[in-house]
Structure formats: structure tokens, C-alpha cells
Structure 1
Amino acid sequence: MRTWSEMSQIQPKVTKMLTNSIQKDRVSHAYLFQGARGTGKREMSSLLTQSFFCSNRDGVEPCQRCKDCHRIQSGNHPDVHEIVAEGQSIKKEQILHLQKEFTYTGLESNQKVYIVQDADKMTANAANRLLKFLEEPNRQTMAILLTENGQSILDTIRSRCQILSFQPLNAKNLENRLMEEGINEATARLLASLTNNLDEAVELSRDEWFAKARKIVIQLIEILQSKPDEALLFIHNEWMPHFQDREAHSKGLDLLMIWFKDLVYEHVENEAAIIFIQEKERIQKSSYQWSKQFATDALTHILEAKRNLHSNVHPTLVMEQLTLQIQR
């Protein structure tokens, strides 16, 4: 479980606002945490809930040892209620059940917290029932709504919440967090350059598809350098069967772009910026064959390929054209 000190490294502005509220005993009755998946909303909601209940706090930091802290961490606290979508939506009946639960006296205190995951998935009826709940705030009750799409939340609900926007994780912070998850430095650095979403990065790290994608990109580079006449054959036999939809092709192009950026960094002697750190020897060797201008032109062609891909040009045509452009 993370501490406020650790969260301040991930979401400094949100952490500062929440810890100030805790210190001044001015915790809001309702929060809306909005931001992309993997930016720490769930961790922050759990930490805030611990600070709300923990009677052994050290300043703002919950003790992490008491009964309340342990039960919140395990999801078993009797006065903490979590609502998640049933199927594709959060239904009115779920909010009604929550309201009924809150009419009862707390099992161990009068404090209660409810956390609504994916609050944007509430049906219209559910959202209106929640609004009625928010209109009658109780000082000892706290609501935390989590969403990736804050603008889809009813304005009337938004107006009754303190809105905290979670920023995308910067690459270095994400790289460090991935390494904390047990991912090696080389993979963590590559993933952090592809996405600022922690959950997506972790999923990719465990995906055999991604490991093979990285290998195919390196193989394409080798063929373009040593056997350029076979590059189109490689695209048809290896690239196309693996990158089977536009999203997959886009990720492949992103990997290819990172490689050529690394080649530029090698030419300008900015070794610290290189992402494919396991391929430094290959990148150095490539710099003898391909100039900085060649790498820059390749990046321009890859960006054009991504635009064509998103404009619904057939992926095979996109990759054929890109391969020919890089070969010239």
C-alpha cells in the first residue's frame, strides 16, 4: 500500500490538495477523481479512505497497521462500500441498495465511505438517485467517484463534488513504477515511452504478442540494412500476420519510430535518451550505415504512415509504401 509521500511523486497536485484537507480537517463530503486509467485514482481513493478511518495517523499518514487500515486494504471494511458496474452499467438498484445501507448506523463508528468505480457508467436513473444522495451530505460520510471520462458525469453531480484531475504519469515516474512491479529496466523504459498508462504498460509487459512485436521490429531493421530487397517479403510474411488490426499496426509503427529516434540520439551523442537500451550495440552499428538525416527522414515517413493508417488506408498498402520509402 502506498503512502502519501509516495503518491506525491505520482500525482503531486492532487496529493497536496488532499493532504491539506486532511490536516485542516476539511475533507469534502464528495470527490470526483477524473483521469486516464492507470494514473493512481484507485490507489488514492484507498489511501484517502484509510486516512479518513485510521485513529493512529501520523500527521496525514495512516498507520497501515491497525484493524481499519488492514480491512480497507483487503476490501473488507464494513463501513466502506464500493460500487462497480454490473455488466456495462451501474444500475439504479445498486444506488438504492447503497442508500439503504447508509440508513443503518455504522457497525463500528458513524463514519461511512462509498467509492463508485467508473462513475460515468451510471445509467440516467442511477445518476439521478446518486444526485439525491449527494444533495443531503453528512459530515461523517464521504463519497469518492472515479472516472476516466469526467465530462460525461452530470453537471449537477459535478457541482456537488470537489473535482480532482489526475495527470498522465511522466515517463520516468512510470518507468520507476514498472520496475517496482518487477519489470526489467529495458522493458520498463520501452513501455514508458509507448504509454503513460500504468495498467496498460503492465498488461503489455505480460503479453507474448508485445514481446514478439518488439522482436519483429528489430528484425525488420536488420533486413532493411543487410537485405533490403527482402524487406517487402518480410512485411508480407512476418509483419502483416502479427499486426492484424489498425491498433496493432499503430503500436508496431510506434516501436519503429522509437528505434529511429534512438538512432538520432546516437548521432547527437545523447546516449541517456536512448530507449532500446538492450540494442545499443546494434544502434551504434546502424549509425555507421545510416546518417542522422536518413533517420530523420524515416521518422517523417513513419508519421505519414500513422496518419494514413488512421485515415483508413489499408494497412498492407501503408506498410508497403513505408518500406519502399525507407529503402530509398
Structure 2
Amino acid sequence: MNWNELLKRQPAAVRVLQGGLQKERLPHAYIFEGEAGVPKEAAARLLGQAFLCEERTTVHPCGECSDCRRVLSGSHPDLLTIEPEGASIKKGQVEMLQKEFTYKGMESAKKVYLIHEAHRMTASAGNSLLKFLEEPEGETLAILLTENLHFLLDTIVSRAQVVTFAPLPEDERAEELKEQGYTNGQAALLARIADRATVEAQEEPGAWIVQAKTVVVQLTEEVQKRPQQVLLTLQEKWLPHFQDRKEQQIGLDLLLYWYRDVLYTKLKRLSLAYPDEVERLHEEALHTSEEKVSRQLEAILDAKRQLAANVNSQLLMERLLLRLQEGF
């Protein structure tokens, strides 16, 4: 992907980055923030390539020199990456990065490092990185990629330039997905899911999202009509399908979209996440109030925050279901 392609998708972010390249005034650290699926990593690698390219005369890397070829092949020794090990980025990973930066660049005096999912740094890792940002070694460029800017230490954010990547319009994403073979219902849901990579990594993504939708619709119906069944459905359907924390976050997103659709139905808005469940949405909208739906949405958002903080997922869901039932 080049700057011209990125400019069509993320004009505001690209103009900021190109401005720094044109003036030869790149800050020593960037934070690229935006939902999963936006081209943060593509922009980070292109910026790193432009920074390392010794033949560059404009904002565009030449694409032909040794630096460019190695960046494109993923083998440049002076472009380093950190990704979470397990659930988090640990202090030892940042210390290893610092150690690498004490050596002179193998290809040039410049070094670039990318930190994926920077919001998953432990507190000790964040503090180690902060020292590194305060005292960078030589010509360095740090790029932190995150979906949750507010999970980063304020002191880290204050020492970097934040570049926000805008989400793609839901209808535009849905049309792209339908062109890839997804049905209208599958595309409507998948277009709204921030972490589409986790769904697309399933053996059969279309079947997985259909089953996920079935579980969510059944659970919401039982919250409203058969509250004595919800914990059984949680055990037999929800927990077996949404297995790890990424999948559980998607499950909570799907719940969030359901109750948002209920609210949209009451307000007579279009663009639903569940377009093939209009009859059920109308039925639920008739038996609830805007105030209650707002409380349900708030409860789900609280659960998403708790899940991100590693609260036990089964206990979290049990408490959430009790909150969703209040008032029925």
C-alpha cells in the first residue's frame, strides 16, 4: 500500500504524516489510534520505510533501495516490532528493545520500532517505555498502535503525537463484505465488529458469525421472556461459542448492537445490525422504554471494560444478564 492508496481511505491521518515527511520534522514518537481493521499498521510500515529510505526525495520512499526492499520483505534489521506475549506486553520485551537500540543501526544510523496493541502493556512495561521515550537513542522513530488510547499512560500519550484513524462507514464496509461472499445479515454484523480479524481467523467465518448471532438473539429473547433460562443458555451456548477474551468481546459487541437496534427501532432509524430480525426488534421495542434500553447499553459497556481488565468472564456475564433483566 502506498501513500496515494492510504490517502483515499484515511485523508486526515495521511496528511499529518506527509506533512512531517515534507518538512523533515517527524516527532520521535507517534501513537496511531483507531479501531481494528483500519490501516494503522500499513501506515506505520510505510512511514517507517520512508524514514529509513536513504534515496527518498519526496514523501514517497523510492521502493527500490536496499532499505525499502528489506522493509517490504519484513527483514530490515533496523525496523523492530513488539507484539503482546500472551495477554500483555511485558517489561522484559521493552527492556530487550532498549538493548537492541544501544547497538548502532546495521543499515544506517536510524532505527524504527512498532509496538502493536500498545494498550496491552503492563504498568511496568509502560514505565520502561516512558524512560525510553524521554531519552531516545540517536535517530529513532517510535510508532505505537492502539485501539484504546485511554488505556495508555497519560505520560506516554503526552510525549507522542497522536494520529487518529477514522473508522470506515458501516454501510461501505458491509458492501465490501457482501462482495466477498457474505450474506446481507452476516455482512451487516461483521461490518460493525471492530475486531473483524478474530472472526476472519475462524475456520468458517460466515458460519461462526451466524452461530454467534443465533446465540445472541436467543439470549436476548430469554432475558425478556424466559429469565429462568438465561444461565442455562449462558452455560450451554454462550461460553462454548465465545471461548477466549477476544471472542467474548465480540459477543458483548453483538449484544450491544442488538440493544442499539432496539433503540433505533423505537426511534424509527434505519441501518440496523440485525436487518433480518426486524419483527423481533419491533416486538421488544414495544415492551421497553428508551430509558431502559439506555441502561442496558450502559451495562454492556461496563462489562466490556471489566472484561478488558481481566475480570472472570463467566461471573461477568452472570452479573450482566441480571442487569439486563431488570425491569422485565
Counterpart residue type for residue 81 of structure 2: E
Equivalent residues in 2 for 1:2-13, closer than 5 Å: 2-13=1-12
Task: Find the aligned partners of 1:76 and 1:250 in 2 and give their Cα distance.
Answer: 38
The separation in 1 between residues aligned to 2:175 and 2:47, in whole angstroms, is 20
- What do the CA deviations read for 1:86-110 (whole angstroms, capped 9, x no partner)? 66223434313322133xxx43xx3
Which residue of 2 is the match for residue 95 of structure 1? Answer: 98
Of 199, 205, 229, which aligns to 1:204?
199
Matched, 1:318 2:316: no
- Asked if residue 113 in structure 1 is aligned to residue 111 in structure 2, the reply is yes
Q: Which residue number corresponds to residue 153 of structure 2?
A: 152
Distance 2:165 2:130 in 1: 25
Structure 1 residue identity aligned to 2:153: S
How many Å separate the matches in 1 of 2:99 and 2:143?
A: 16
Alignment map for 1:1-328 (pairs within 5 Å): 2-24=1-23, 26-28=24-26, 30-36=28-34, 38=36, 39-54=38-53, 59-62=58-61, 64=63, 67-84=66-83, 88-89=90-91, 90-102=93-105, 106-107=106-107, 110=108, 112-117=110-115, 121=121, 122=125, 124-125=127-128, 127-129=130-132, 131-134=134-137, 137=138, 141-148=139-146, 149=149, 152=153, 154=155, 158-159=158-159, 161=160, 163-172=161-170, 175=173, 179=177, 182=180, 184=182, 186-193=185-192, 195=193, 197=194, 200-206=195-201, 210-219=209-218, 231-232=226-227, 234-239=229-234, 241-244=236-239, 250-261=252-263, 263-264=265-266, 268=268, 273-277=271-275, 279=276, 282-283=277-278, 285=279, 290=283, 294=286, 297=288, 300-307=291-298, 310=302, 314-321=319-326, 325=328
**Alpha carbons of 1:321 and 1:220: their partners in 2 closer, same or farther (altered >3 Å)?**
same
Change (3 A) 1:253 1:111: same
Query: Could you give the per-residue CA deviations for residues 221-277 of structure 1, whole angstroms, max 9, x where no partner exists?
Result: 7889xxx96x34653443554345996774453142244256457xx4x65x23334
Tell me the SS of whatever aligns to 1:114.
Answer: strand
Q: Structure 1: how far apart are the matches of 2:324 and 2:235? A: 9
Q: Distance in 2 between matches of 1:82 and 1:12?
A: 25
Cα deviation per residue 1:49-74 (whole Å; 9 max; x = unaligned)? 22234577695344556654342123
Distance change (3 Å), C-alpha of 1:96 and 1:174 = farther
Q: How much has 1:133 moved relative to structure 2?
A: 2.8
Q: Output the CA distance in 2 between the equivalents of 1:143 and 1:95.
A: 13
- Partner of 1:274, secondary structure, is coil
**Distance of 2:55 and 2:22 partners within structure 1:** 14
Amino acid at match of 1:152: L
CA distance in 2, matches of 1:18, 1:175: 25
Look up the SS of the partner of 2:135 in the other structure.
helix
Distance in 1 (alpha carbons) for counterparts of 2:254 and 2:170: 22
* Deviation, structure 1 residue 117: 0.9
Q: Hey, what's the Cα distance between the residues in 1 that align with 2:252 and 2:133?
A: 40
Tell me the amino acid that sits aligned with residue 294 of structure 1: L
Count matched residues. Answer: 289
Aligned-pair RMSD on alpha carbons?
A: 4.4
Does the 8 Å CA contact 2:29/2:133 hold for their aligned counterparts?
A: no
Q: Take 1:299 and 1:242, find their aligned partners in 2: how far apart are those partners?
A: 29
TM-score calculated relative to the size of structure 1: 0.65
TM-score in terms of structure 2 length: 0.65
